[in-house]
Structure 1
Amino acid sequence: MKKIITAMVGVGLLFSLGTGSAFAATKMSNTIDDLMGISYKYGGTTTNGFDCSGFVGYVFDKYKIDLPRTSSSMYQEGSKVAKDDLRPGDLVFFNTSGNGISHVGIYVGNGEFAHASTSKGTRIDKLSMNYYAERYVGAKRILSDTQYKSIAAE
């Protein structure tokens, strides 16, 4: 019985140590958190109001990473990444207009992405939400491994 209890405590410690690091703050997550709740503004690229690509561009600009201005142009950058291989900092793209790439967000981990919603401003939503799951087009990896480790790795 003593061995079983010791083993259970050990497993509990192992899981608690793992979960602590899974939710560790990163430079990028701190930047994103600071921008939550800002109103949507068509063409917006500042904290006075963001559109989706303005929000993404603003976050990446904080780390001296230049991106094109529009979501469709951003989709031309980086390398394709499978949904199952997403890591924080990857860009996720959607067809919300019916005319190709029209929305972009930043994957933040745990199946979630940060973006500027036209109705709710900057926020974090789940990729699995019906609205986004039905409109998901793909993802691109913009950050090099070095950049990822420096600003987005958990």
Structure 2
Amino acid sequence: MLATLAACSSVPAEKPQTGSRGSSSRGYATPEQQAQANEIVMQAMALLDTGYRFGGRNPEAGLDCSGMVSLVVEKVTGRRLPHNAAQIAAQTRQISADEMRPGDFVFFNTSGKPFSHMGIYLGDGRFVHAPSSRGKVRLESLDLAYFSTRFTGARTLFGD
């Protein structure tokens, strides 16, 4: 059904994180990082209903999951991330699910490989992603069975 979410690649397995998402006291290293994380969330939300396109990094032509994330991060921070979920995972810091804050990244195994799909965490168990199924950037809940069983971890650009 949603197996076509595999468009973003992968790396070796990372143990899935569990817990009460967002309940820790992990903070941002600086007020600037907190402002950037908030802006990442706002920019991701602004892309809702943008069309999907494999390999896409342009909202007018369509986005895939890692294209959406790399576009938003570059727009907000100036940092150019790879257009590949596994490579983005390799360049960001692992955090536990209970340390997730808005602006962090969530990763999923949607094709038999960890880090084959990703999104931007919004808080309250929700994230924005660019799935190939139903063809548009949309908001989802980490509690949906499809995503909760495929969650492979969270990573961040911010903090320590």
In structure 2, distance between residues paired with 1:84 and 1:75: 18
- How far off its partner does 1:30 sit? 2.4
Q: Report 1:13-28 matches (<5 A).
A: 26-28=38-40
In structure 2, distance between residues paired with 1:75 and 1:30: 21
Counterpart residue number, 1:50: 63
Q: Which residue type is aligned with residue 105 of structure 2? A: L
Which residue among 33, 50, 54 is the counterpart of 1:38?
A: 50
CA contact (8 A) 1:79 1:142 kept: yes
1:125 equivalent to 2:124? Answer no
Which residue among 54, 79, 84 is the counterpart of 2:93?
A: 79
In structure 2, distance between residues paired with 1:100 and 1:34: 27
Cα distance change on mapping 1:30 and 1:100 into 2, 3 Å: closer
In structure 2, distance between residues paired with 1:61 and 1:144: 18
In structure 1, distance between residues paired with 2:117 and 2:53: 14
Length-normalised TM-score, structure 1? 0.73
CA contact (8 A) 1:52 1:115 kept: yes
- How far off its partner does 1:65 sit? 2.1
1:62 equivalent to 2:75? Answer yes
CA contact (8 A) 1:79 1:140 kept: yes
Secondary structure of the corresponding residue to residue 55 of structure 1 = helix
Counterpart residue number, 2:13: none
- How far off its partner does 1:144 sit? 4.1
Length-normalised TM-score, structure 2? 0.71
Q: Equivalent pairs: percent with the same residue? A: 37
In structure 1, distance between residues paired with 2:42 and 2:151: 25
Higher-Rg structure is 1
CA contact (8 A) 1:36 1:123 kept: yes
**Larger RCO, structure (CA 8 Å, separation 6 or more):** 2
In structure 2, distance between residues paired with 1:137 and 1:129: 14
Counterpart residue number, 1:17: none
More helix by share: 1
In structure 2, distance between residues paired with 1:88 and 1:65: 18
1:100 equivalent to 2:85? Answer no
- In structure 1, runs of 5+ residues without a counterpart are 1-25, 146-154
RMSD: 1.3
